[in-house]
């Protein structure tokens, strides 16, 4: 009986000891908050570069890169083309598309510095989550106002340089004189173009983040492989614990 009791105590001791060891191992394998933040920044930076690549090729057919009229774009284009303004519409579309492309290219340091300066609070919740765009959402919510302030003058300068603003003024003067137009076109598109380009960049970042979270081959740095691999395992563990 004493031997049986002793064996039971020994087994219990070993069990709790092994649990403590497993917890210590898991803790050692888990990335630090600094590493999590670095991995998330790597992912956001990789997403930005995918956006830069998209904007560098405006003829790729990507609708995010092509200029679209503010409001009901299709209706505005059709109205202008119906009155013989097809050439001017094409000129404006082409010039503003090129203005967006040039502005994004010029603003690369602004976007990249915005990621470097991010104070990623509660990085565990941003990393270990079912939200495939969690880091992008955080980036967008915290940095959009700052990006708009920095990006707006670049857009305005670029649009003036290639004549896009001048072409837009000519088009606005024609369109706003059409009878029964319910909503006249704005004279300045600086804010609209800046917001559209920034939104386009965030779409690219979100798409890249989703790929990084779900596909190993998109994790291009060792830090991303480490932290997103941990996130996968931790999510699986949590789901298993809920069953």
Output the pLDDT for position 1. Answer: 52
Long-range own/partner contacts, residues 48-51 (CB < 8 A, 24 or more apart): 48/111, 48/112, 48/115, 48/201, 48/204, 48/205, 50/204, 50/205, 50/207, 50/208, 51/104, 51/111, 51/200, 51/201, 51/203, 51/204, 51/205
Output the pLDDT for position 16. Answer: 43
State the Cα–Cα distance between residues 78 and 97, nearest whole angstrom.
19
Residue 162 has pLDDT above 50, yes or no: yes
The string of pLDDT tens digits covering residues 192-229 is: 999 999 999 999 999 999 999 999 999 999 999 999 99
Distances (CA, A) of 107 to 12, 94, 102, 163, 183: 62, 20, 9, 19, 32
The string of pLDDT tens digits covering residues 176-196 is: 999 888 888 998 899 999 999
pLDDT band (50, 70, 90) for residue 71: confident
For residues 71, 58, 41, 148, the Cα torsion angle rounded to the nearest 10 degrees is -40
pLDDT band (50, 70, 90) for residue 18: very low
């Amino acid at each position: 009986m004493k031997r049986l009791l002793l064996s039971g105590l020994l087994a219990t001791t070993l069990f709790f000891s092994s649990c403590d060891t497993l917890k210590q191992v898991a803790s050692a394998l888990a990335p630090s908050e600094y590493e999590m933040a670095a991995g998330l920044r790597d992912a956001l930076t990789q997403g930005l570069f995918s956006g830069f690549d998209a904007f560098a090729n405006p003829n790729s057919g990507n609708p995010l890169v092509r200029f679209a009229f503010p409001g009901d774009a299709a209706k505005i284009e059709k109205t202008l083309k119906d009155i013989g303004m097809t050439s001017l519409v094409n000129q404006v579309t082409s010039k503003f598309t090129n203005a967006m492309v040039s502005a994004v290219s010029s603003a690369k340091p602004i976007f990249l510095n915005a990621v470097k300066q991010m104070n990623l609070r509660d990085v565990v919740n941003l990393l270990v989550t079912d939200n495939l765009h969690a880091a992008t959402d955080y980036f967008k919510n915290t940095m959009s106002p700052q990006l708009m302030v920095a990006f707006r003058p670049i857009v305005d300068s670029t649009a003036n340089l290639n004549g896009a603003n001048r072409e837009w003024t000519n088009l606005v003067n024609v369109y706003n004189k059409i009878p029964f137009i319910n909503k006249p076109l704005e004279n300045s598109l600086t804010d609209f173009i800046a917001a559209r380009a920034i939104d386009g960049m965030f779409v690219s970042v979100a798409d890249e983040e989703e790929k990084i979270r779900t596909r190993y081959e998109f994790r291009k740095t060792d830090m991303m492989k480490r932290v997103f691999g941990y996130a996968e395992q931790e999510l699986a563990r949590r789901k298993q614990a809920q069953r």
